[in-house]
Amino acid sequence: MLRALTARRVATAAAYGGGGITALGGLTVGLVMVEARLARRIILATPNGDPPVADGLYGAALPGPPLSFAVLGDSTAAGLGVGAPEETPAAMLAHGLSAIAGRPVRLTNVAQSGSRSQALEGQVERALRVRPEIAVIMIGANDVTNRVNPAESARHLGEAVGRLAAAGCEVVVGTCPDLGAVKPVMQPLRWIARSAGRRLAAVQTVAVVERGGRSVSLGDLLGREFAADPLEMFSADRYHPSARGYAAAAAAVLPSIAAALGLEPEFETLPDARRGEGVLPVYLAAAEAAGEPGTEVAATRVAGRERGPRGRWATLLRRRPAGGAEAAGGASAGTVPPAAQSGAA
């Protein structure tokens, strides 16, 4: 019953938006706004500077032409909070992808710190210049903190996915993370941030799948790890991930990148009901994924049809990266991947 109610809310939010902080009482709103200002002051007190530039060629010694890989999004996609290019999630993904594909990978990162989903239009323009074969988008946190309507955020994201897909690019989206894990955020703001992030992640999933991409739920997957070891998983500002935190995110996304490019055994693509996987209408799959971190949602067909009585069909898969975080980042998140040669490009 609870999941059905959540799914209906996802479908409504995808179409109309609404809800959010405006539903709170006046006294609670005042408290939340004070807490938000305090959290922002704590976070900004430890500036990170600009994220490292990780653009370049990875796996240069491997045979074959380079695979063009683009990364779009906000500060998380850009890698803000770490000091070396190889510690960014884009570099870890490029290194992991080159190892899986057995060919070089040319990384172009157009993500910018502070970006909301509306900024994806310009980022797509820049990404298309390199004709990417695969793109990863990580965005959503700034939409939540700036109280952007979820339907508006999802519309911008869906348009970005659609443009990339129309250009022949496979697209994987890491949905909005769990902002409730951020240490400077206190209750009740923490509860509100977690709820808003999960809601946006579900609406993002619907938009992404409808436009030909696949989504990966980050949410509590990283939230639990960050809460268990905040000193190691967060950077100095206690808001952005550390190298270990980015490695965890990259490990969650990398298997879906491989799947999007057809670089996995066929048997691994089939849903397993024993793990709670299956084929569902996309809005039901989105609601399920929002509460089950590490879950991929992608479009599928049932009896040759893309849609059923309740909308587009989607598969719900819980992929498990081989080797955990190291599968994306090499032997450790803090070491230079031996196959990577990164530099300004």
Of 237, 242, 256, 342, which one is the catalytic site residue?
237
Closest CA to 74 of 93, 89, 54, 59: 89
Q: Whole-angstrom Cα distance, residue 164 to residue 23?
A: 36
Q: State the burial class of residue 327 (Cβ atoms within 10 Å of its Cβ: 0-12, 13-18, 19+).
A: buried
Closest CA to 237 of 45, 36, 34, 49: 45
| Residue 220 annotated as catalytic | no
∠ Cα 110 115 120 (to 5°): 60
Q: Whole-angstrom Cα distance, residue 62 to residue 51?
A: 28
Give me the helix-helix angle, 2-16 and 282-291, nearest 10°.
110
- Residue 121: count of CB within 10 angstroms of its CB: 12
| 3-state DSSP of 212-228 | CCEEECCHHHHHHHHHH
HSE, CB side, 13 Å, CA atoms: give it for residue 338: 1
Of 98, 117, 240, 256, which one is the catalytic site residue?
240
| Residue 75 annotated as catalytic | yes
Closest CA to 137 of 57, 224, 207: 207
Of 55, 74, 75, 215, which one is the catalytic site residue?
75
Active site amino acids: 75, 237, 240
